[in-house]
Structures are given as C-alpha cells and as structure tokens.
Structure 1
C-alpha cells in the first residue's frame, strides 16, 4: 500500500553534493538514487530539487555556479516535460499531479548564491526559487553552518526578512546552534528545516534540539525527516526503520504532529537499505500504519503537513 502522494523537501539529485560526477540529464540518471524513472507510478510525487552551492564558491563564482545549474534545471523541465512540471505553488503542484507528472520545486542549499547582494533575493524569486538553506557546513555571507561557531550576520538577518517578503522559504537545516538562536529573533514567518532529525535521538549537530523543535512547533514550522544514516543513529549504526521511527515518536512527544514531513537527502547522503530508493520511501506509509499510527498522522508525514504548509506559506 502506498500513500496518495509524497512530498520530499530535499534532494541533491540536481547537483549531487557528494561529487559522483554529473551527467547532463541529472533528473533521470539511472546512476542516481532519485531518478524520474525510479518514482513509484501510483504515487503523486513532489520534489524539492536543491542547487547545492559548495562552501568554496563565493561572490561571482557562486552566482555562476547557481546560474549554470538553474539553466540545467530549466532545460530538463523542457526535456522531460511529459513527466515533470516546474512548480511555484500548491495549485501548480496539484496541476502537475492531475496531469500525472512529478511536481518540481527549485530550491538552493547555501545562501552564498546571494553573493552578499540583497537585490539578488528578488532575482532568485523571479527565477522560481521557493526555498533556500541559509548555509551549508561552513560560513558564508549570511551566517555559519554546523561546523563553525559564529551566528548569523547582519546581512543574513536582512536576507531572511527579504526572503520572507519575496516568498522564498527560509531553511534552517545546516545552521549552527548560535545561528538558530539568531534566526528565532529574526524570523517573522514560519520557516522550514528541510532535512533534519531529533538530536535527543541522534546526537549529530545537524539535528534539532528539543528547544528548537518546541519553538518550531510554536511557530507552525515544518521539519523534513532526513534519511542520512549518520543523522538517524549515532555513528550510522543500525539498519531498521524502527531507528527512524524513534525520531518520529520523539517529535510527537514534543507536539510536532502537524510539523513533520519528509526530507530524504537523496543523492547527498549515505542511506540505510530501507530508504535507499524512492519506492522504499513510499513504503514508509504502510510501515507507519503497521506500527499503529493513524492514517491521518501517516498521511500528514507523507504529504499533508507539507501540503498545508505550502498552502499557507508559498
């Protein structure tokens, strides 16, 4: 049994942040985990496709990298138009599903794409970017990732407010703890953690603390469960869906019943065997029901929570 739909808040399939090498047609590359041909035919799929900006790219180099990959995304939207549609809203997503196509949202992983220029927020929005992770692992003009200790910069705070005004979702995955505190003081609208788990269950710094989760619940934010082994269990040990389920139970214990979604990190992370294909990700729905989860909660995680969040915030 599969869900009616599945919404995935993060993958690196477009640019592949683990550097396996690029083929021109990244979205239907058989060597990638997430390819159009691998998606379950009976599931309406919506995918956030991130343009990953490596930390070493800054200024014009970051702009050039972004624009090259934006153009490749747009080219593939045309080439595979019979199977995928670019989307900017819930109505676009539903139209894609009704046409039997995958709904594709363009996103960015790494605020270096702004190159320190606030006017570029509007440019990205005009390009169709609907979500941006503020940092990757290191530092950029907006702030610091989880491998560093500084918080958000003044420019980063300004960028967050401009993103909110321009309709680009603020993504806090990869932001370090100091940056989270700064973001909580800055954000005026609900934001997302596209691919982050619970730190109380797996201690990796990329995961969210209980205080972060409670605050995100209070603000009606959205959290995408990350399939990366090292973010599910300490040391990446274990290969049972029960490992991921412990995170879900913990999120629920903090009141996040309507805040959890999926954020696979396909083609950007080492995956457990039970989540190493799109079909297995869709199988989570049946697993949730077998664990005794209600259909309402299971559908919430698979697609309804994200769908409602998009309806209110995109």
Structure 2
C-alpha cells in the first residue's frame, strides 16, 4: 500500500476542451490519463488539477481561465461521492479519513491575473492554491526559460530576465494569501528572483534535473540545491523528453536516475511527483495514473527505503502544503 500525491496534470483542460467540442469526456470516466478508476488503481491521495491555456490560442486568458474553473467545480459537484476539492492541509486529512481523493486547483500560466493583485485575490477566492508563474511565453509576472533558449545552438542564454516589478508584488501577495508559488517553466533568473523576494518554501511542480537530461525545462543543480534549502519540493515530470536526452530508453529507469540525482544534490526531502499527465505524450511504461506503482516498485528495487518512498510519493508535498496553504 502507498499513497500518491501528484502536483500537476492537465486533465481539466482536456475535459473543458471536450465540452467545447460537444464530446462526452468527464472526470468520472474518460479516455485520458486520469479518471476515477485510474486514480483509485494508483492509490491517489491527492491530485492537483491545473488550469492551463495557451496564450496564443485564446483571446482572453482571464475569461478562458474562469470558464475552466467553472468546469472544475462542475466536475467536483458531479463526482462528490469519491473526490472533493481542497484548499487546506486539514481538508486533505478529512478527505482521507472519509475515503475520498482530494483535488487541489492550480493554475499553469499566470497570464489570467494580468499582473493585478485584485485578480490574484479573485482566483484565490475561486479556490486556486498554486500558480505556475509562466508557461513558455513571457507574461506580466515574468519570463520562462523558453524565451532564452536558442533552438539551433541548443544553448540557454545566461543573460536572462526573471520576475517583473508586477511579478515581485504577485509572489509576495501569494505568500501572504497562502498560495503556493510554482517555478516550473520559469527562467533560471525567475527562480533566483523568487528566492530573493520571498521567504516560504515553493515548488517546481513538474521539472526534472538538467544535469541528467539537458533540457531547458529542467533545473540546474544550483537551483535544485537552493529550492531544497528553502524547504521546497520538485515534482518529477513523466515527459520522455525531460527524462532522457533523445527521449528514448526506459522511462521508469530514467525517472529513477533523476530521483537519485535529486537525492544526491538536494536531499530526499525535496522530491515529489508531478506527472504532467494529459499534458504530455502517452508512453507505454507509464500510460496513465493507474500505472504509478511501476515507479514505486522500481524505486524499491533501486534500494530506496520505505521512509524515502513515503516522502517522494506524498510526505514531502504534504509537509509543504501544511506549511504554506491557508
């Protein structure tokens, strides 16, 4: 038996799109990587559900995000017999006691708040408790690594921009509110700026180790150490391109290699899970949420202790949620 806490998936985006298209995909049962049966087979305690929209595919990120929030709450109402939304650590424990999976609402792409603290507070009232500050485009909050990566040379520029003046105000207000700052996708400088202008632990909800796989979406050893020293947690992303340099080989063996590296660099307390299910290509090794026990078993075979596995699969994330969420 084990419990699974996953800091990132894009399932609500897929369900929202399916409703727009008039198809019948729902959270209870669908053809995606996360639904009731898959979560229950994966022994999930909590799943973060991200509100994601590509800024180039919507005329109004704010409006699209509000519609996705409505979609999330409709799904929660339709599935209240087995899953329930949470905004605090205590609610997670209550759901566990009642035999329910917890759902934490997050936002991937800070553009919907338009750099405005009033909109940030509005989304907090809507139940959003984590914000990935940027996706792959600059926004009012800051800059992503994608903006500083040269596709031809495969070099990530060291001359970067991080948080904007508005972005500094946003992350500081997030701390005051009890919202979790998420630096996945952010530029290296953005992570440094978050470290400079905030005090509490934060996350990189779905990022791996750049020293193991040199993709700009992964974190440098220096940043891994600094996030870990702050008490932060980094969720392992199951996307093959972030695991091995050419996206080939064993996905699970690659993830074990990343997890070992994180343990060596930042310590066991900085490691969590952030699958990115329904936002990444489907692979046969970890086809959906029901197969996460394969990773658990591989880590046992790699010599990880029961205590270490508990920290990776749920303990580290819950510790941070207990400290930050309000």
Q: What CA distance in whole angstroms lies between the structure 2 residues aligned with 1:97 and 1:74? A: 20
Query: Post-superposition shift, 1:98?
Result: 2.0
Unaligned runs of 5+ in 2: 149-160
In the alignment, which residue of structure 2 is the partner of 1:200? 211
> Could you tell me whether the CA contact under 8 Å between 2:48 and 2:103 is conserved in 1?
yes
Aligned CA distance change for structure 1 residues 73 and 253 (closer, same or farther; 3 Å): same
In the alignment, which residue of structure 1 is the partner of 2:98? 99
In the alignment, which residue of structure 2 is the partner of 1:47? 47
In the alignment, which residue of structure 1 is the partner of 2:88? 89
> What aligned pairs does 1:57-206 form with structure 2 within 5 A after superposition?
61-149=60-148, 150-206=161-217
Q: What CA distance in whole angstroms lies between the structure 2 residues aligned with 1:240 and 1:42? A: 18
In the alignment, which residue of structure 2 is the partner of 1:27? 27
> Could you tell me whether the CA contact under 8 Å between 1:28 and 1:35 is conserved in 2?
yes
In the alignment, which residue of structure 1 is the partner of 2:151? none
> Could you tell me whether the CA contact under 8 Å between 1:134 and 1:175 is conserved in 2?
yes
Query: Post-superposition shift, 1:240?
Result: 4.2
Kindly indicate whether residue 289 of structure 2 is the aligned counterpart of residue 278 of structure 1.
Answer: yes
> Could you tell me whether the CA contact under 8 Å between 2:41 and 2:290 is conserved in 1?
no
Q: What CA distance in whole angstroms lies between the structure 2 residues aligned with 1:263 and 1:113? A: 22
> Could you tell me whether the CA contact under 8 Å between 1:11 and 1:267 is conserved in 2?
yes
Secondary structure of residue in 2 paired with 1:49:
strand
> Could you tell me whether the CA contact under 8 Å between 1:53 and 1:108 is conserved in 2?
no
Query: Post-superposition shift, 1:42?
Result: 7.4
> Could you tell me whether the CA contact under 8 Å between 1:227 and 1:271 is conserved in 2?
no
Q: What CA distance in whole angstroms lies between the structure 2 residues aligned with 1:159 and 1:284? A: 36
Q: What CA distance in whole angstroms lies between the structure 2 residues aligned with 1:184 and 1:115? A: 22
In the alignment, which residue of structure 1 is the partner of 2:37? 37
CA RMSD of superposed structures (Å): 1.9
Q: What CA distance in whole angstroms lies between the structure 1 residues aligned with 2:263 and 2:42? A: 28
Kindly indicate whether residue 271 of structure 2 is the aligned counterpart of residue 260 of structure 1.
Answer: yes
> Could you tell me whether the CA contact under 8 Å between 2:137 and 2:146 is conserved in 1?
yes
In the alignment, which residue of structure 2 is the partner of 1:6? 4
Work out which of the residue numbers 290, 293, 308 in structure 1 matches 2:304. Answer: 293
What do the CA deviations read for 1:94-142 (whole angstroms, capped 9, x no partner)?
2112222210000000100102211112111111111000000011111
In the alignment, which residue of structure 1 is the partner of 2:260? 249
Structure-2-length-normalised TM-score: 0.90
Q: What CA distance in whole angstroms lies between the structure 2 residues aligned with 1:119 and 1:297? A: 40
Structure-1-length-normalised TM-score: 0.93
Aligned CA distance change for structure 1 residues 185 and 24 (closer, same or farther; 3 Å): farther
